């Protein structure tokens, strides 16, 4: 009996101990790819958690400080994900977070409810900053020389095992190029492989260099990407083609290079039957094949390798004014959402309707009062009439005479440009979002793509905006805690990659082009048109699941005025049946994408343009806050 009582007391005491006291968690967070950081980009934060206590269900968050006090857009964003740590668990979590300055640390916190289990602050002063980060998937460390090749661009080389490559394309945001030599890509997980492809399609550079283990270049994952078919190894006497291109002598000693044959792409050095340096476009990115093992002597000591790597990496040496202006907030006023707010996006009842309403109201009252003065004995009846007039006009004013947009908690706009990336199955989506709070409140935005990058955010309006955003990256990407006072606007710029909903293929022929547009998405592609040689060819609507094939003959079509701006011409040709307010969204998108280029200039490369009359970045937030949106689909056609 006494023993039972003791057990009961012990159980009671244990039950009263809070969970945090039982949980023993150690956490270690690391910044960047092996500590290398690129400011203004999304960088990787890797968090290792070890639970030596009881089971923990909590939230792991990484908080970064962005914006500037001077511009008034200083804010924090906490990227959170739920974590489950069974007893003894040791887990690694990777976040990609935006880092724009070194003044404030990155804060990593593990908490259950309100209890903080572990917290670490990562001082950005101690990080290895770079303007260019090159990832080496190599067996050796022979890329170190690249740090000294680029004099104007501070470059860091990071050697990663394939298992450490990002699982998410946003993890590559700080990376300029990936160099593969003597390492198999077959070991990558499906997520890593998809992330690599998405990053390449969005502008990354992959360099596959020759190595004695040339068979690795013939493995399926790399073979599908390479611009060449690798045949084997061959011995050559010097590299006269490199000497000719870079005008730097090369010792004529025997050396081994990878023997290959061009399949698609552009030969930079060598011939199509014996290419030494080849590149191919992959969406907005490039894949470069270098037949030579750059780590082998005498190539590794060759004086021309600086020029060669400049050619391979195509590093911009100029100042990125667009980025500088964006950082200074000078581009905020030209943001599509700001332009949209310069358009009459609301639909107030007209003065005529209101004047009619008021005249009718006053007229009826005057009539009743006049009758009242004529028939004093029946004045009670007319007073009843006055009450009835007030009630009827009140009810009428309540329902149809209102501005719908202002009578909901928030106006949410999503104008997105979807660029179909040629030769890939990807589309790059650039979302411009605006949440305008009429009456104030807290809002959440859920995104269609789980892998969305939040590039920039700022606020405008009379009311103030909350400075603590929360981005949930578990499953679906969502931004929570968008706190806005009445009459405040928060603008977001986002980027995401998605599987292309529209497949475009084009074949040139003697008199023009044969184009095939296949809509694999769920929404109809409306107002599809091709701009080619200053002429516009309307393809019309392409229903979901349908394919349209058309032959375009520029000589048979009348040209639009070459002096007219492309966006104006495309706006004129937009689907006619659309809502007039939607036209403002379309106008803003066209202006943003095509700028002030004239039709003749814009059509140097033929392109397809069309419309998805629905938001492509945001999911419908809630029935109470419907998002108005339109998506411009653009595909540059490679002939």
Q: Enumerate binding residues for other proteins (CB under 8 A).
A: 341-349, 351, 354-355, 357-358, 361-362, 365-366, 369, 372-373, 376, 379-380, 383, 386-387, 390, 393-394, 396-398, 401-403, 406-407, 411, 436, 438-440, 460-462, 486-487, 489
Residue among 240 and 486 whose Cβ is closer to other proteins: 486
Q: Are 621 and 412 in contact (CB under 8 A)?
A: yes
CB of 75 to other proteins, least distance (A): 19
Residue among 349 and 508 whose Cβ is closer to other proteins: 349
Q: How many helices (H) and strands (E) does the chain have?
A: 14, 32
CB of 417 to other proteins, least distance (A): 23
Residue among 93 and 436 whose Cβ is closer to other proteins: 436
Residue among 338 and 634 whose Cβ is closer to other proteins: 338
d(CA 435, CA 412): 5
Residue in the structure block whose two tokens are 């140097």: 604
Q: What are the E-state strand segments in 348-487?
A: 410-420, 426-437, 441-446, 452-461, 468-472, 478-484
Q: Rounded to the nearest 5 degrees, what angle is found at the Cα of 299, between the Cα atoms of 253 and 208?
A: 125
Residue among 439 and 455 whose Cβ is closer to other proteins: 439
Residue among 162 and 461 whose Cβ is closer to other proteins: 461
CB of 481 to other proteins, least distance (A): 22
Residue among 403 and 604 whose Cβ is closer to other proteins: 403
Residues 6 or more apart in contact with residue 450 via CB below 8 angstroms = 473, 475, 476, 477
**Mutual angle of helices 379-398 and 351-374, in 10-degree steps:** 170
Residue among 179 and 338 whose Cβ is closer to other proteins: 338
Q: Residue 256's closest CA among 216, 209, 301, 310?
A: 209
Q: Give start and end residues of each alpha helix (H) in 203-304.
A: 220-223, 240-246
Partner residues linked to 446 by β-bridges: 478
DSSP state letter for 263: -
CB of 613 to other proteins, least distance (A): 20
CB of 309 to other proteins, least distance (A): 48
Residue among 13 and 398 whose Cβ is closer to other proteins: 398
CB of 341 to other proteins, least distance (A): 5
Residue among 332 and 419 whose Cβ is closer to other proteins: 332
Residues 6 or more apart in contact with residue 48 via CB below 8 angstroms = 27, 28, 29, 30, 90, 91, 92, 93
Residues 6 or more apart in contact with residue 547 via CB below 8 angstroms = 516, 517, 518, 519
Cis bond upstream, residue 555 (ω within 30)? no
CB of 592 to other proteins, least distance (A): 19
Distances (CA, A) of 358 to 387, 397, 596: 16, 11, 46
CB of 443 to other proteins, least distance (A): 15
Q: Are 219 and 324 in contact (CB under 8 A)?
A: no
d(CA 596, CA 87): 61
CB of 200 to other proteins, least distance (A): 40
Residue among 397 and 543 whose Cβ is closer to other proteins: 397
CB of 350 to other proteins, least distance (A): 9
d(CA 474, CA 80): 7
CB of 335 to other proteins, least distance (A): 12
Q: What are the E-state strand segments in 22-148?
A: 25-31, 36-37, 41-51, 56-66, 75-85, 90-99, 106-112, 115-122, 128-129, 132-138
């Amino acid at each position: 009996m006494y023993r039972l009582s003791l057990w009961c007391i012990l159980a009671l005491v244990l039950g009263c101990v809070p969970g945090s006291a039982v949980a023993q968690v150690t956490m270690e967070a690391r910044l960047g790819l092996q500590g290398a950081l690129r400011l203004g980009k999304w960088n990787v934060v890797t968090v290792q958690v070890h639970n030596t206590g009881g089971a923990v269900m909590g939230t792991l968050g990484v908080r970064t400080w962005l914006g500037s006090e001077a511009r008034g857009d200083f804010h924090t964003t906490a990227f959170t994900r739920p974590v489950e740590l069974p007893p003894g668990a040791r887990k690694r979590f990777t976040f990609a977070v935006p880092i724009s300055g070194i003044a404030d640390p990155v804060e990593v916190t593990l908490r259950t409810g309100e209890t903080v289990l572990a917290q670490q602050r990562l001082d950005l002063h101690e990080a290895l900053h770079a303007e260019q980060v090159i990832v080496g998937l190599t067996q050796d460390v022979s890329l170190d020389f690249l740090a000294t090749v680029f004099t104007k661009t501070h470059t860091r080389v990071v050697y990663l095992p394939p298992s450490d490559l990002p699982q998410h394309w946003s993890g590559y945001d700080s990376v300029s190029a990936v160099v593969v030599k003597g390492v198999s890509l077959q070991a990558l997980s499906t997520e890593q492989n998809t992330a690599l492809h998405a990053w390449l399609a969005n502008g990354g550079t992959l360099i596959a260099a020759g190595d004695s283990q040339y068979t690795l270049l013939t493995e399926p994952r790399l073979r599908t990407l390479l611009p060449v078919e690798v045949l084997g190894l061959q011995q050559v006497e010097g590299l006269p083609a490199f000497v000719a291109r870079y005008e730097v002598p090369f010792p004529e000693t025997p050396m081994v290079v990878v023997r290959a044959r061009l399949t698609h792409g552009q030969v930079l050095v060598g011939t199509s039957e014996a290419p030494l340096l080849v590149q191919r476009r992959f969406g907005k990115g490039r894949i470069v094949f270098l037949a030579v093992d750059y780590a082998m002597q005498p190539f590794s000591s060759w004086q021309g390798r600086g020029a060669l790597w400049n050619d391979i990496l195509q590093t911009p040496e100029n100042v990125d004014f667009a980025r500088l202006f964006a950082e200074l907030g000078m581009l905020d006023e030209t943001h599509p959402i700001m332009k949209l707010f310069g358009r009459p996006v609301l639909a107030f009842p007209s003065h005529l309707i209101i004047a009619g309403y008021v005249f009718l109201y006053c007229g009826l009252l005057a009539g009743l009062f006049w009758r009242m003065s004529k028939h004093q004995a029946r004045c009670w009846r007319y007073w009843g009439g006055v009450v009835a007039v007030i009630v009827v006009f009140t009810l009428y004013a309540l329902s149809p005479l209102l501005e719908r947009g202002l009578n909901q908690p928030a106006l949410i706009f999503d104008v997105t440009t979807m660029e179909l990336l040629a030769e890939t199955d990807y589309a790059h989506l650039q979302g411009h979002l605006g949440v305008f709070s009429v009456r104030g409140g807290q809002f959440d935005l859920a995104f269609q793509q789980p892998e969305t990058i939040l590039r920039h955010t700022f606020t405008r309006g009379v009311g103030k905006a909350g400075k603590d955003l929360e981005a949930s990256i578990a499953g679906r990407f969502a931004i929570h805690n968008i706190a806005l006072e009445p009459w405040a606007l928060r603008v977001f710029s986002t980027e995401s990659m998605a599987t292309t909903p529209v497949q475009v293929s084009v074949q040139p022929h003697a008199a023009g082009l044969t184009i095939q547009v296949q809509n694999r998405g769920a929404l109809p592609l409306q107002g599809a048109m091709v701009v080619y040689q200053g002429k516009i060819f309307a393809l019309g609507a392409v229903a979901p699941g349908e394919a349209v094939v058309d032959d375009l003959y520029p000589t048979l079509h009348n040209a639009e005025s070459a002096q007219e701006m492309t966006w104006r011409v495309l706006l004129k040709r937009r689907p006619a049946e659309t809502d007039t307010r939607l036209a403002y969204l379309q106008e803003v998108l066209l202006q943003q994408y095509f700028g002030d280029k004239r039709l003749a200039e814009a059509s140097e490369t033929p392109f397809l343009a069309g419309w998805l009359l629905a938001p492509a970045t945001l999911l419908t937030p809630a029935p109470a806050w419907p998002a108005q949106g339109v998506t411009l689909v653009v595909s540059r056609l490679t002939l």
